[in-house]
Structure 1
Amino acid sequence: MNEFDLIKKYFNFTSKHAVLGVGDDAALIPLNKNELMAISMDTLNIGHHFTGDSDPYYLGWKSLAVNVSDIISMGGQPRYALLSISLKSLDVNWIAKFTKGIKACAKKYNIEIIGGDTNKGSTSISIAITGNVSSKNVLKRSGAIPEDEIWVTNEVGYAALHFNQHSLLPKYKESISNCLKKRSQEEFLKPQPPLEFIQDTKSMINSAIDLSDGLVGDLKHILNSSSVGAKIEINEIPMHKWFMENNQYELAMCGGEDYQILMTVPHKHHNKIQNLLKKHTLKGAMIGKITKDKKIEYSLHGKKIKLSKEGFTHFG
């Protein structure tokens, strides 16, 4: 049983008053006449998401950024966050660096951290976040329609390469340049979800999801929620040339932790999306189209192929 089967069987709670409950990047509840409140939560655990040697500054940044990404993918503006942290011991230097990182991320995205909880135990970080979403421009996984263009906001694969490089065959490890190693580490440690771009484009977008579990896995969530299919051209997916040159494009597509946005957009907005990506210095691209039939077709340079990997899942 993987993470999503677990949620569907045991944690798919029904709600009477929420506009949207389980099943998207955030829940939605009424806020006022024109807005909804988006609420989400993520947990990072030692030994799984980070190690005892992880830089506490970047851990602080990332623990908030992954939550920010959920609010952005709903078309929202992040507002407030609650932090719950368990610590094995009181290392004040570690704590000072961690809080410096989380404050830096909060400042970038204009978020107020308003409380939380502290406990003694195995190191674990949980953050609950809220954001405001215009009722007119709510982005959900379920809004994709046939003939929509499929776009991703920036390059994918860097975080996956950093996390998996030690398990690669020697010939692949040796081919990774120092520059690529550095960039991959930066993207893994300090994700920067594209808030301003989504705020500029949310009125044009039909559906969206944040790329936390990998492009392949997260695309399936949109397709299943929208009851549609897709055709994807792999060589159009923005990724560092190393992935294609070394036949490692599936790592970039399935590895996860990109924290960019995968979205579907009507063709009439093609040029606007392209121009706004340039405006925000994002290397995003159109990578395919939504289809009526409920299947995914991947092509590489026009030739249909089957992938050997899936997106990331807990318990999978």
Structure 2
Amino acid sequence: MSAQINLRQIAQTLRDHPSIRSKLDIAQSTATLGLTATSEGQPGDDCAVLPGKNGYDLFACEGFINAFVQADPWFAGWCGVMVNISDILSMGGRPRCVTNAIWAQNAEQAQPVLAGMKAAAQAYGVPIVGGHTNLHTDQLQLSVSILGQAKHVISSFQARPGDVLICAMDLRGSYREPFDNWNAALTTPHEALRRNMEILPNLAEAELVSAGKDVSQGGIVGTALMLAEASGVAVDIQHDALPRPQGVDLARWLRSFPSFGFLLTARSENADAVCAAFRAQGVSASVCGDVTEGSTLHLSGRDGRALFWDYARTPYLNLTQKEASYA
């Protein structure tokens, strides 16, 4: 066993990792606000879903870890645009525009963050249309919002027992050290970035996908857990089948935040078409698990099977709760 992967140890390490546990904070805010999965906008999805005249308006917002913004301000600005675009794409939408809110000690400190945002907006073809600026604060901070539209929504709430789990990931990159950010965007031609933005809306409109989320902070396991809890299902991830860069440690990969990565569920008869749509653009995609009845997320492989989380015993986003008594 010493020469094999210890899945139980990996599961325990991931359960205790800050990037996984930070998602537990969401439940504190939603409880205070009195939000549940049935609230307007459907909290628990990657974007707020608002019915519109020609489909759905999608709205999302990301705030960034201060240590990340301080350590890599240009890339933080780029990510401000990139990760919001991923939220829109994950729901089958097309992004329209972004805004930002930036706090800095002065204009010089803010400049690389804004330059990174500008570069990403130009690369993806999504305009920055305004925001909020404060250049008299004691710490560099960033938040970015996005607006998009979808004709047919891919939701976190529609995975069903009998679906297969599909992981699509652009592996053509490397880590942006020292963080667990897998960067496959800066080395990709702008034309390819824009072509990739059509994959998920096209899959949504063809109704080939039942549910999905972009792989965000919390990595593959945290994202799969949020998807499972939202849909009220169990998920078994077969780690041997995951797209993974050669030489990357499994535990790190399972918690990594990729620049282009999605977890999707589909009926088995649609899986080949879903994977083919990504592979046609050079993005790795494979069936990597199963959706069943229950409330658990397991990691499985040649080395055995280990429980990562049971949201019935330990809620994660906990969007079924009522308003907190102290709110």
2:247 is paired with a residue whose SS is helix
Counterpart residue number, 1:126: 143
Counterpart residue number, 1:114: 129
In 2, are the aligned partners of 1:141 and 1:209 still within 8 Å (CA)? yes
Counterpart residue number, 1:35: 55
The 1:218/1:17 distance shift into structure 2, 3 A limit, reads closer
In 2, are the aligned partners of 1:45 and 1:123 still within 8 Å (CA)? no
For 1:10 and 1:17, locate their aligned partners in 2 and report how far apart those are by CA, in whole Å: 13
**Shift in Å, 1:236:** 0.6
Instruction: For residues 151-196 of structure 1, give each alpha carbon's deviation from its aligned partner in whole angstroms, at most 9, with x where no partner exists.
Output: 111157977783358xxxxxxxxxxxxxxxxxx7744978969422
2:92 is paired with a residue whose SS is coil
In 2, are the aligned partners of 1:233 and 1:302 still within 8 Å (CA)? no
**Shift in Å, 1:140:** 0.9
**Shift in Å, 1:283:** 1.2
Q: 1:89 corresponds to which letter in structure 2?
A: N
Pairing of 1:165-244 with structure 2 (within 5 A): 186-187=183-184, 194-202=196-204, 203-212=207-216, 213-243=218-248
The 1:254/1:188 distance shift into structure 2, 3 A limit, reads farther
Counterpart residue number, 2:64: 44
For 2:225 and 2:88, locate their aligned partners in 1 and report how far apart those are by CA, in whole Å: 20
1:147 is paired with a residue whose SS is coil
For 1:185 and 1:22, locate their aligned partners in 2 and report how far apart those are by CA, in whole Å: 27
Counterpart residue number, 2:255: 254
Counterpart residue number, 1:10: 32
In the alignment, structure 1 residue 79 sits paired with structure 2 residue 96? yes
For 2:55 and 2:66, locate their aligned partners in 1 and report how far apart those are by CA, in whole Å: 37
The 1:288/1:156 distance shift into structure 2, 3 A limit, reads farther
For 1:152 and 1:303, locate their aligned partners in 2 and report how far apart those are by CA, in whole Å: 20
The 1:290/1:108 distance shift into structure 2, 3 A limit, reads same
Counterpart residue number, 2:4: none
Identity %: 19
For 2:295 and 2:257, locate their aligned partners in 1 and report how far apart those are by CA, in whole Å: 23
In the alignment, structure 1 residue 163 sits paired with structure 2 residue 184? no
Q: 2:47 corresponds to which letter in structure 1?
A: A
In 2, are the aligned partners of 1:29 and 1:36 still within 8 Å (CA)? yes
For 1:103 and 1:27, locate their aligned partners in 2 and report how far apart those are by CA, in whole Å: 25
For 1:163 and 1:267, locate their aligned partners in 2 and report how far apart those are by CA, in whole Å: 38
Q: Answer 1 or 2: higher relative contact order, Cα 8 Å, separation at least 6.
A: 2
For 2:211 and 2:286, locate their aligned partners in 1 and report how far apart those are by CA, in whole Å: 16
Q: 1:139 corresponds to which letter in structure 2?
A: I
What is the TM-score normalised by the length of structure 2?
0.75
Runs of 5+ consecutive residues of structure 2 not aligned to the other structure: 1-21, 310-315, 318-327
For 1:195 and 1:215, locate their aligned partners in 2 and report how far apart those are by CA, in whole Å: 20
Counterpart residue number, 1:99: 114
Instruction: For residues 6-45 of structure 1, give each alpha carbon's deviation from its aligned partner in whole angstroms, at most 9, with x where no partner exists.
Output: 1342234379994x2422111122321x311100111124
Larger deviation, residues 188-197 vs 251-260: 188-197
2:46 to 4, 25, 37: 25
For 2:105 and 2:176, locate their aligned partners in 1 and report how far apart those are by CA, in whole Å: 30
**Shift in Å, 1:217:** 0.9
For 2:144 and 2:230, locate their aligned partners in 1 and report how far apart those are by CA, in whole Å: 26
In the alignment, structure 1 residue 54 sits paired with structure 2 residue 87? no
For 1:31 and 1:268, locate their aligned partners in 2 and report how far apart those are by CA, in whole Å: 31
In 1, are the aligned partners of 2:215 and 2:257 still within 8 Å (CA)? yes
Q: Normalized per residue, which structure has more helix?
A: 1
Counterpart residue number, 2:320: none
Instruction: For residues 185-220 of structure 1, give each alpha carbon's deviation from its aligned partner in whole angstroms, at most 9, with x where no partner exists.
Output: 744978969422212312211111111121111111
CA RMSD of aligned residues (A): 3.2
Larger deviation, residues 296-305 vs 146-155: 296-305
Pairing of 1:263-302 with structure 2 (within 5 A): 263-301=264-302
The 1:13/1:297 distance shift into structure 2, 3 A limit, reads closer
In 2, are the aligned partners of 1:204 and 1:265 still within 8 Å (CA)? yes
The 1:70/1:54 distance shift into structure 2, 3 A limit, reads same
